[in-house]
Structure 1
Amino acid sequence: MPDINTSSTPGELGFTFPAEWFPHRATWLTFPHNEASWQGERLAKMRPQYLAFIKAISQGEKVGIIANDENLKAFIYKELDRTDVDLSKIEFVIKPTNDAWCRDHGPSFVINEQTKQKAIVDWGHNAWGGKYPPYDDDNRTPKAVAEYLNLPVFNPGIVMEGGAVEFNGAGSLLTSKSCLLNLNRNPHLNQSQIEETLCQYYGVHQILWVEGGIVGDDTDGHIDDTTRFINEDTVIACVEHDPNDENFEILQTNLQMLKNMRLLNGKQLNIIEIPMPKAVIIDGFRTPGSYANFLICNAGVITPVFNNPNDQIAIDILEKAFPERKIIPLEATEIIWGQGSFHCLSQQEPLLN
């Protein structure tokens, strides 16, 4: 491993977690295989959408795939070849896994741009407050990726999830009270202690809080379903226009909190409102469908769509918000039944030249 003193914190050593629009070397995924997340035939039905996601990412960067075993790797390789994915863009880590949500259990990459060093933060993972045991294999994922990449590992010793945090790349982190202050994560820590740990291990200087998340989100309100940074001072914020909808009140509360925020430089946020899709209900279950769960990657902005009346409205808003990036809408109608989408499934690895 490179010579970095991991008994210090990333912040003390000048490391930061770069914004998602920072160039990527790769995006990491944990290939889904557990029928507990997509029951029965749903696992097979969601795979074409998942493979299309891999193909879209691979147009601009490597795709690191964490595969449960060699048999699954062989299956993945065959499926990617069949769908004309450039296999030279694919790399594998073979290790047992429990679930597919790499944003939450995967490696968090921090970099020091001055020293040109990269490292991994290995946050604890308890499957969103112990909701879906077992999760021990997923909890070992960051260490396995670090060994594959020969990167040092920092261990904060607390539970944290990648979908719970958003970064502007200029020292600010945005999160939600309903998730990170939930007693099912770190009941021994108060808000200021959590803020201090986030600052030290992500290399940020400001924690901004919204209230909560959307209906159907089993993570207790991940930020990546409601509010996303797209540059240093601009966020995409989900709004619900129907006052009778269950999401109306919480998203209005979040919106007001965003309007009251000030960044480190004293500036207000530039807020771009984006509608929620009309309720995405599958077999009587309201899923957490959201246009905010996009992935910014080298190839463009991969955006979930749901064969929904608001799809094109959201695409048009994102095209204006990202004038220099291609918007890549992909069907997520089967993926969303697992209660997450493209951002939840992925974790980016920054490129250091």
Structure 2
Amino acid sequence: MTPDSQTNFLYLADTLPKKFPEFYARLERELKAQNVAFDFLPGTKDVWAVDYMPIQVGDSFIQFRYDPGYLKPLKYQKTKSDVDAICASLGIQTHKSDIVLDGGNLVRSAHQAFVTDRIFEDNPAWERKALLTELKKLLELDRIFLLPVQPGDFTGHADGMARFVNEKTILANDYAKESRKFYEALEIALHNTGLEVVKLPYNVYNNPSNNHANGDYINFLQMENVIFVPVFNFKEDEEALRIIETCFPDQKVIPIESNVLAKDGGILNCISWNIRR
């Protein structure tokens, strides 16, 4: 599978500058300053591009079914973009799978990936082992690790919980202030990977709603030579940047103030569809 660290082109939803103009202006300045090639996905209905766009595996694109449980209510149906039309306009052919999987629930390296156990809820017709086996086959992975869904998380995604540094090391949020049941389940899941775990500050506890992602630094945008990290004018900003710089010494680490975006439930990885061209 194509990891974020090997991507060199970024697509953003064309709804992003309309919905978050001030945030987009900041992001655009930094993308241009870092010489990141980017363009817009046409005809989108929401800004969370990583969720509905296909997953790149080498020169191929796997299109999973974008029909998660949290979008079943009628009021959310209007937010579902026509991915076939978007890909056709970009000249991208996809290989389709009937598995329901959001891109935000797939945290990947070249040979390994994380998903939360929400994937079983979204695919009740699949036997669990068969589902994971099929995912490994489609994505050309050696291993897939399961994480428990964080209580109160509307989407149940993994990209706000953990990220790969390399094939031996991961970053994970410090969930010490979460419920003991969730914290212990997550610690067991991370321990069972056999990977080294580096903890990243996590402070969402003064947010007025569970839907706000302010204080979740791990939802960064990583590309070939640069990592854009969300910051929030919190005291943890500096520590989070230092840890990420230490983990990725060969990449530039650029802070992007992301409060307005995070109040809508997602951050930098959520808005990004970055690929290898």
TM-score by length of 1: 0.71
Equivalent positions of 1:268-307 (< 5 A) are 268-281=194-207, 284-286=208-210, 287-289=212-214, 290-307=216-233
Aligned position for 1:311: 237
Q: Deviations over 1:69-98 (max 9, x none)?
A: xxxxxxxxxxxxxxxxxxxxxxxx3x2x32
Letter in 1 for 2:162: T
Q: Deviations over 1:103-124 (max 9, x none)?
A: 101232221xxxxxx2222211
TM-score by length of 2: 0.88
Q: Is 1:240 paired with 2:181?
A: no
State the 1:100 CA deviation: 1.1
Unaligned runs of 5+ in 1: 1-16, 36-42, 67-92, 112-117, 262-267
Q: Is 1:197 paired with 2:134?
A: yes
Distance 1:191 1:253 in 2: 19
Aligned position for 1:32: 15
Aligned-partner SS, 1:224: coil
Aligned position for 2:35: 60
Distance 1:234 1:198 in 2: 22
Distance 1:325 1:311 in 2: 18
State the 1:315 CA deviation: 1.0
8 A contact 2:68–2:100 mirrored in 1: no
**Structure (1 or 2) with the larger CA radius of gyration:** 1
Q: Deviations over 1:171-208 (max 9, x none)?
A: 2221111x2122xx222112123212312221213211
| Change over 3 Å in CA distance of 1:305–1:258 after alignment to 2 | same
| Change over 3 Å in CA distance of 1:181–1:336 after alignment to 2 | same
State the 1:166 CA deviation: 1.4
Aligned position for 1:153: 94
Equivalent positions of 1:317-336 (< 5 A) are 317-336=243-262
8 A contact 1:60–1:299 mirrored in 2: no
Aligned position for 1:181: 120
Aligned CA-pair RMSD: 2.4
8 A contact 1:103–1:345 mirrored in 2: yes
Q: Is 1:219 paired with 2:155?
A: yes
Distance 1:325 1:33 in 2: 26
Distance 2:272 2:201 in 1: 23
Distance 1:144 1:166 in 2: 25
8 A contact 1:125–1:135 mirrored in 2: no
Letter in 2 for 1:257: A
Distance 1:248 1:303 in 2: 28
Aligned-partner SS, 1:21: helix
Aligned-partner SS, 2:186: helix
Unaligned runs of 5+ in 2: none
Q: 1:126 aligns with which of 67, 92, 104?
A: 67
Distance 1:60 1:34 in 2: 19
Greater Cα offset, 332-341 or 304-313: 304-313
Identity of paired residues, percent?
20
8 A contact 1:239–1:251 mirrored in 2: no
Letter in 2 for 1:274: L
Distance 2:77 2:17 in 1: 11
Letter in 2 for 1:339: G
Greater Cα offset, 226-235 or 203-212: 203-212
Letter in 2 for 1:60: N
Distance 2:27 2:183 in 1: 28
| Change over 3 Å in CA distance of 1:33–1:223 after alignment to 2 | closer
